[in-house]
Structure 1
């Protein structure tokens, strides 16, 4: 090896080790940053024109990656976020049930009403018993109305959160467009784009929290992003994601759809519905879970109105609303009476504070004189009260669309509604816990594969220091030989 080649080898080695030292310093500094991946220097051997090895060449900076683990993390994150969103909503819906010992749920209020009527039937001339029955009837109606108000607030909140999620998605897509442009141009020019790749991965991970996605890698580091249902979210440029929020909700309100690149992906009319992400969870909560629970409350209200309806004593088979009133007339169980739980109230004709009579609970006649079961006005008359008590456990037909047994008594149907919500919440809690473990372990495995180990970096730094020292000694040796050569030629 000539002295010039030896000097070239030493100089290139020093430059390469300097680059490696700089990259290791970057690794150590970024070790605790979320999403930071380990960087390494790509080296190759340089050759002289005669084919002799002539030092080291820095070809670029590479980063560790694992596409399979990363794709799994995106998917599991989307699923976990969706499940957590639904669980949060169901936890709020469970406020209609509250502590079972406090008996605040509609089912508990129904039981209290039944008990007060049983007590009243045992002493039909007792004014205190009559007042207690009236109070429990009012509490029953209040419970259904307040439960409906909470359910619709949950839906309105979910709708507002959907608007927030859409804004976040559009913001992330904008960042993705900027980073993707830097990566493509940098890759084409041979620049170091590893930090931009890390940043893009973090943007995609944040995007997966909002909406389920899949990615496709292309030449020059380019990436294409689709929803998990196959609608294009990003390809060179960000696609438009739009949503029109609905401010006020009642049982008859339907929210709007989320539209990606002109295709509805969540909400009514979604032709390519997404299956994960916060946006999916919010849409499921707003349009499915909360709506089903509202329908159950409406069916309880309808069953209550029917159970307390009065029959015309002069024309059998003709019925009118009795102690409980709702908008319109009782609706057959083939159709869920949307929003009737929000309107149910106690007939003012039974309330002395509104000019009514307590005796009407015992005797009937709330719908008019023809509906009076006790025209003689006997103080000990209890037949009507016994009939009302029996009605709680009489089998009746409920709507089959509310995910409960359509052939049940009013009491068992109300209890089943509580069980439906609590069992659903319990199952979702279990799902969230399992998914949390999956996300955590996937993230841990990805970090173990692509992250920075400080001990390894420090060991590499020592090796580079020794290599740097060896290159320095080679330069010193070449310098000494050159000095000797010059002295010999004088």
Structure 2
């Protein structure tokens, strides 16, 4: 090998080691950066026209990756966000209104009201105990009214978060378009695209938090993204993702659907429904669990109105609402039929409330619904110790009645048992959601750790590689020094 060729080899080695050092340095400085994958210089030999070795060079920069693990991380992230968001919504409902151990729950409030009624039946002439019954009834009404408001507020919150999620999705898709173009251009030009690929992966991972997605890489590293139900989300350009928020919810309000590329993918009328992601969890809260719980509240309210309704004691006129009334009074709601929003409108009859000019003794005597019609009075003799009506009311509360199947709990139960079942249903939803979320959290964590072990930067390994490059650099520098000395000697001889 001639000295000039040897010098060329040494110079290429120095340039290559310098490039390798830069890559290692970047690995070390970016080790804690989220989404960064380890980069490695691929070394190739330079060959002369006659096939002789002429040195080395960095032919490409490779990044550590595992497409199968990354795909698993995408799907597990979507599933994890579904369970996390659903658990959050159910927990908020449970903590706000559903815990049977808390005084604010409908079940607990109904229990206190029933106890007050039982005590009053023992001393029907005691107006203090009658007042306690009235207070308990008002507390129960307030609880149902407040619970309805809380349920609809949770629906509004979920709807607003869906709208925020759609804004984030559209922003991510716009960023994905820019980065994907950079990847395609770099691939075609043969330049380093590893950082752009890292950035694109992070965008895809963030998208997977909001909805389940599937990815496919085409020629020139072009990325295509679809929803997990098969609707095109990104192909060269982003597809439109639309959602119209509903600012105010009342019982019975139907929220809008999420539309991707003109297809309903979540919410009412969805025909290619998303399976996972934050939006799925929010839709489950907005359209399923809160609606079911509202149905249960409404049926508790209907059960109260029915249990405390008054019947004609003389003729055959229809039953009338009694202590508990609503906007449709004096008609008693049909048995076993849901009246949407009833828990939000139920109230105490003014004719029994002294603060509204009523007579509290009507609790004992009847005639609440028709204070000027004696046919609905039970205690026609005006006896202070009259207890029959109160005992009937107690029996009504504990007697099985028919409830609407939309409540998803026992449709044939007593009012007290139904209220307790409602609380148990919500707590059961919370416990099940907690278990599922814990399982998904473990899967996401372990998948992320496995991927990080393959693609992440190990500082010890990088420092070891740096030492090897330093030794190689020193050897190359010594070779150049030797060549230089040999050239000097040749010049001296020639001189």
**TM-score computed with the length of structure 2 as normaliser:** 0.96
The structure 2 residue matched to 1:363, chosen from 352, 365, 370, is 365
Residue 195 of structure 2: SS of its match in structure 1? Answer: helix
Residue 337 of structure 1: SS of its match in structure 2? Answer: coil
1:301-450 pair list within 5 angstroms: 301-316=301-316, 318-328=318-328, 329-333=331-335, 335-368=337-370, 369=373, 370-450=375-455
Residue 476 of structure 1: SS of its match in structure 2? Answer: helix
The structure 1 residue matched to 2:476, chosen from 471, 475, 479, is 471
- Summarize deviations over 1:77-107 as a string: whole Å, max 9, x none: 1111111111111122113446655422111
Distance 1:283 1:335 in 2: 26
Instruction: Tell me how far 1:393 sits from its aligned partner.
Output: 1.1
Q: Which residue of 2 aligns with 1:459?
A: 464
Residue 373 of structure 1: SS of its match in structure 2? Answer: coil
Q: For the structure 1 residues 404 and 99, does the alpha-carbon distance in structure 2 shift closer, same or farther, using more than 3 Å as the test?
A: closer
Residue 357 of structure 1: SS of its match in structure 2? Answer: coil
Q: Is the 8 A contact 1:304 1:410 kept in 2?
A: yes
- Summarize deviations over 1:159-186 as a string: whole Å, max 9, x none: 1111111101111111111111111101
Q: Which residue of 1 aligns with 2:73?
A: 73
Instruction: Tell me how far 1:282 sits from its aligned partner.
Output: 0.8
Residue 214 of structure 1: SS of its match in structure 2? Answer: strand
Distance 1:93 1:323 in 2: 28
32-41 or 213-222: which moved more? 213-222
Residue 57 of structure 1: SS of its match in structure 2? Answer: strand
Q: Is the 8 A contact 1:35 1:199 kept in 2?
A: yes
- Summarize deviations over 1:362-416 as a string: whole Å, max 9, x none: 1111122221111121211111110000011101110112110111111110000
Q: Which residue of 2 aligns with 1:160?
A: 160
Instruction: Tell me how far 1:317 sits from its aligned partner.
Output: 6.8
- Summarize deviations over 1:280-306 as a string: whole Å, max 9, x none: 111110000111100100011111111
Distance 1:382 1:289 in 2: 41
Distance 1:171 1:454 in 2: 34
Q: Which residue of 2 aligns with 1:299?
A: 299
424-433 or 62-71: which moved more? 424-433
Q: Which residue of 1 aligns with 2:276?
A: 276
Q: Unmatched 5+ residue regions in structure 1?
A: none
Q: Which residue of 1 aligns with 2:115?
A: 115
Q: For the structure 1 residues 396 and 261, does the alpha-carbon distance in structure 2 shift closer, same or farther, using more than 3 Å as the test?
A: same
Distance 2:169 2:334 in 1: 44
Distance 2:165 2:235 in 1: 21
- Summarize deviations over 1:248-288 as a string: whole Å, max 9, x none: 10002111111111111111111111121111111110000
Q: Which runs of 4+ in 1 moved over 4 A?
A: 98-102
Residue 366 of structure 1: SS of its match in structure 2? Answer: coil
Distance 2:417 2:136 in 1: 19
Distance 1:228 1:456 in 2: 38
- Summarize deviations over 1:404-459 as a string: whole Å, max 9, x none: 01111111100000001111111111222222121111111111110000110011
Q: Is the 8 A contact 2:99 2:423 kept in 1?
A: no
247-256 or 86-95: which moved more? 86-95
Distance 1:98 1:226 in 2: 39
Q: Is the 8 A contact 1:97 1:418 kept in 2?
A: no
Instruction: Tell me how far 1:484 sits from its aligned partner.
Output: 3.2
Distance 1:371 1:325 in 2: 15
Q: Is the 8 A contact 2:309 2:332 kept in 1?
A: no
1:76-95 pair list within 5 angstroms: 76-95=76-95
Q: Which residue of 1 aligns with 2:205?
A: 205
Residue 51 of structure 1: SS of its match in structure 2? Answer: coil
Distance 2:418 2:317 in 1: 25
- Summarize deviations over 1:315-366 as a string: whole Å, max 9, x none: 2472111110123244335542110000000111111111111111111111
- Summarize deviations over 1:6-51 as a string: whole Å, max 9, x none: 2222111111111100000110010010011000111111211111
